Amino acid sequence: MIKFSEGSVVVPGEAVAEGKEYRIGQGFYRVGEKVFASRLGILRIKEEDNFIYLVPLTGVYNPREGDTVIGKIEDFHSLGWRIDLFCPYSAMLMVREVPGYVPAGELDKVFDIGDLVCVKITKVTNNKMIDVSMNGPGLFKLNEGRIIKISSQKIPRVIGKQGSMVNMLKDKTGCKVIVGKNGLIWTKGEPKTEIIVNEAIKMIEDLSHTSGLTDRVAEMLDKKMEEYNKNKG
């Protein structure tokens, strides 16, 4: 028996379900018959296979293989750069993972400390050593534009189902947008449209636990863009 409905907020130590027929996923633990939540999040139920799991509402970024992230160059090593991923662990970018020629001993000519780069995580070990790569489409150094940081747990809402939300942001404002899974979002376009995108992202972050968000954001974007076009012309 599940005591809460799908989509309700549960807090640590709350008895969520009773009975052994449920399989439990991330965010729950079992004591005897009872199932308790172990972190603050939203309850999700898969009725067909008696499976319950929890989508966290807060928390730091947990690096995973295959994620595209935005990082900051932190330090030089003999064979690469150390990159701050804005989570408890930093990543290593080897010289061979960077396209193009890198002169030996002159790594700072390519990326200097404080530069922002868009990279892909290729490997995460059990003791949280992270390797990243820049070989691949859409991975490059971020030279211009605007960066904004939000909670990494809200990133799935910014992306939306099959990228619906981020594509809408791009289409309606004409900005380039890159969403890093670690909570950093880069935008580039007309300065004023960049601000509109950032406002929309802030709105998504504040209202991320509500439903029907895409429509509300679309409405807000239409209004702002209309104003922008009027002032421009």
Partner 1 sequence: MVYKKRLDGRKFDELRDIEAKVGVIKNADGSAFFKIGNTHAYASVYGPKKLYTRSMQDPKSGIITCKYNMMPFSGAGGRVRPGGNRRSKEISMVTENVFKDLIDLSEYPNAVVEVYIELPQTDAGSRCCGICAASLALADAGIPMKSLVGAIAVGLVDEKVVVDLTYEEEHYPEFAKDKITSEHVADIPLAFIPGSDKIFLLQMDGVISKKSLIEALEVGKKAADKIFDIQVKALKEKYNVEE
> What strands lie across the sheet with 28-31, from one edge to the other?
15-18, 34-37, 28-31
CB of 15 to partner 1, least distance (A): 7
Q: Specify the DSSP element, H or E, that contains 202.
A: helix 191-206
Residue 50 tokens read as 């008696």
132/187 Cα distance (integer angstroms):
22
Amino acid at 107: L
Per CB under 8 A, does 74 bind partner 1? no
Q: Can residue 14 be called a binding residue for partner 1 (CB under 8 A)?
A: yes
Q: Which of residues 150-169 bind partner 1 (CB under 8 A)?
A: 153
Q: Among residues 53, 76, 89, 228, which is the contact residue for partner 1, using CB under 8 A?
A: 89
Provide, rounded to whole angstroms, the least separation between the CB of residue 4 and partner 1.
Answer: 9
Q: Choose between 53 and 89: whose C-beta lies nearer to partner 1.
A: 89
Binding to partner 1 in span 103-142, by CB under 8 A: 127-128
Residue span binding partner 1 (CB under 8 A) among the ranges 36-44, 113-121, 175-183, 221-229: 36-44
Q: In the block, which residue shows the tokens 């799935």? A: 156
Binding mask 183-222 for partner 1 (x = CB under 8 A): --------------------------x-------------
Nearer to partner 1, 19 or 59 (CB): 59
Nearby residues of 215 by Cβ (< 8 Å), 6 or more positions away: none
Taking contact as CB under 8 A, which single stretch among the options 8-16, 106-114, 172-180, 195-203 is the one that binds partner 1?
8-16
How distant, in Å, are the alpha carbons of 13, 181, 210 from that of 63? 26, 8, 26
Token duo for residue 77: 């090593």
CB nearer partner 1, residue 55 or residue 95:
55
Cα angle for residues 69, 210, 67 (degrees, 5° grid): 15
Can you tell me which of 18, 56, 68, 145 binds partner 1, judged by CB under 8 A?
56
CA distance 175 to 228: 14
Angle at 91 between CA 90 and CA 92, to 5 degrees: 135
Alpha carbon distance, N-terminus to C-terminus of the chain: 61
Residue nearer to partner 1 on the CB measure, 89 or 228: 89
Rounded to an integer, what distance in angstroms lies between the CA atom of residue 125 and that of residue 115?
Answer: 25
Q: Considering beta carbons, is residue 12 or 174 the nearer one to partner 1?
A: 12
Nearer to partner 1, 133 or 208 (CB): 208
Residues that bind partner 1 (CB under 8 A): 8-9, 11-15, 27, 29, 36, 38-41, 56-60, 62, 88-90, 127-128, 153, 209
